[in-house]
Amino acid sequence: MSAPKRVERPLSPFMIGPYYRPQITSISSIMIRITGLGLIVAIALITALIFAAAVSKPAFDCVNWFATSWLGWLIWIASAWAVWYHLLGGVRHFLYDAGKFMDIPTAEKLGWGMFIGATVLTVITIIIAVV
C-alpha cells in the first residue's frame, strides 16, 4: 500500500505574500498586541513626569519640555488612539466570549469599527483636551 500524497500547504499564516492574504480580523488582533506594547511609552512618559516633579523643578521643566514638544504631543495622540483601540478590542472580545457576532461578515465589521471608532474617539479626546 502506498503512502497518501502529501498536500503542500503553507505551515503558518505568517507567510504573508502568495500564500496568505491578511484579513481585517487578523490585523485587528495583531494591532491589539502592538497597541498594548506601545502604551508602555506613554506609561514611561507619565512616570517620568511624576518622578521629575518629585525630584526638582529643573528636572520637571526638562521632562515637561519634552512632553509638550511636537514629539511629546505625537506620543500623547498615539497613546490616546492606542488606549481607545485597546478598549474597543476588549469590548469586542467580551462580545466574542458571550458567543455573539462571531460570523465572518460581522467580525470584519467589528474589526473596521475598532479602527474607525478609535480614530473618532481620539479626535474627540483631542478636542476636549485642547478646549
Spell out the domains of the chain, with CATH numbers in brackets.
Answer: 26-130 (1.20.1300.10)
125 grid coordinates: 479626546
In whole angstroms, give the CA distance from residue 33 to residue 124. 24
For the entire predicted model, the pTM comes to 0.81
pLDDT at 13: 58
d(CA 97, CA 53): 43
CA pair distance 55, 53, nearest whole angstrom: 6
Specify the DSSP class assigned to residue 12. -
pLDDT at residue 43 is higher than 90 = yes
Residue entry with cell 470584519? 108
Which of the four pLDDT bands, split at 50, 70 and 90, describes residue 88?
A: very high
State the average pLDDT over residues 90-111.
94
Quick count: other Cβ atoms within 10 Å of Cβ 92? 21
pLDDT tens-place string over residues 10-28:
566 556 666 667 789 889 9
